[in-house]
Amino acid sequence: MAYVTKKSAEEIAILAEGGRILSEALKAIRERAVPGSGTEDLEMFARAELAKRGAEPSFLNYRPSGEREGYPGAICISINEEIVHGLSVPNRVLRKGDLVSLDFGAKYKGLFTDMAVTFYLGRPPQSVRRLIAATRQALRRAVKTVRPGAYLGDIGRTIERHATRYGFGIVRDLTGHGVGYAVHESPRVPNYDDPSLSDILLEPGMCLAIEPMLTMGDHRIKTRPDGWTIVAADGNLSAHAEVTVVVTERGRKVITPFID
Ligand code: MF3
Ligand code: CO
């Protein structure tokens, strides 16, 4: 069974401070991301936004298990059919009509937080508006299931039910995860109903990154030849939203405040 670490009250106070910093930084980056913004400019801006608040980028040089090299950026910028881990590339510029996801992680006083937001540049078509809204709402509903005595499996079941109601697909090969002492910790937090998680009890001090990835097509993904960028195999649009949450005595605390 998955072992899930528990953070102390002192550690949770640091995580909350780091989460506030991460959220503020991501909000500033999100506001800078407009038609004409260069992805490399956003990357440099992202680094500076953390540095000026005393935090470090946690994705930069991070090597997910199974990878041979570390991630080359501080922030993942994924556009349109790209789902996650998109790279900033020289001369790559955001355009009106792009669906943009920013995924950002911080290390603050030795502890890790993680969050993501997806938004549209311009006035979104109705279908895209629904995709973004359903993804954000799935995340909010999943977060509300988190409390001592609830089960880990409640998170994915809630997300799946919500996505299915809207008719959206769910990425299955990428999941949320434990977080805090590392970028990724046990347990996996899938975005679908996984009966093997139904008996893992949530307890105060557990810290989770919950991150639904919904698609306009099906669940299949592939990795681009750059080795990082994960796209929908069918080329459809997708949206991603993520927060870091800690289980408290009374319920939960979102330690990376939501941004739109
Ligand atoms: N937030 C990302 C995730 O949970 C972490 C990015 S890992 C990186 O998967 F190596 F791609 F940066
Ligand atoms: Co994550």
What are the pocket residues of ligand 1 if the criterion is a CB atom closer than 6 Å to any ligand atom? 59, 62, 64, 71, 76, 85, 103, 105, 114, 183, 209
pLDDT at residue 27 above 90? yes
Q: Which amino acid would we find at residue 260?
A: D
The answer to whether residue 146 scores a pLDDT higher than 70 is: yes
> How far is it between the farthest Cα atoms of the chain?
50
The pLDDT assigned to 22 comes to: 98
Residue 63: nearest ligand to its CA? 1
User: What CA–CA distances, in Å, run from 177 to 77, 145, 152, 181, 189?
Assistant: 20, 16, 11, 12, 5
Residue 171: pLDDT over 80: yes
Q: At 177, list the tokens.
A: 């995860």
pLDDT of residue 120: 98
Task: Tell me what the mean pLDDT of segment 198-208 comes to.
Answer: 96
Q: Does 198 score more than 90 pLDDT?
A: no
Query: What distance in Å separates the CA atoms of residue 2 and residue 69, rounded to the nearest whole number?
Result: 26
Q: Compute the distance between CA of residue 114 and CA of residue 99 in angstroms, rounded to an integer.
A: 20
Query: What is the enclosing helix (H) or strand (E) of 131?
Result: helix 126-145
Q: Separation of 78 CA from ligand 1 center, angstroms?
A: 12
For a substitution probing ligand 1, which of 59, 69, 208 has the most ligand atoms within 8 Å of its CB?
Answer: 59
Tokens (6 digits) for 4: 């899930």
CA of 193 to the centre of ligand 1 (A): 22
- Please tell me the distance between residue 85's alpha carbon and the centre of ligand 1 in angstroms: 6
pLDDT band (50, 70, 90) for residue 1: low
pTM of the model: 0.98
Alpha-carbon span 131 to 133, nearest angstrom: 6
For 57-111, write each residue's pLDDT tens digit.
999 999 998 999 999 999 999 999 999 999 999 999 999 999 999 999 999 999 9
Report the pLDDT value the prediction gives residue 40, as an integer from 0 to 100: 98
- Is 123 a residue whose pLDDT tops 90? yes
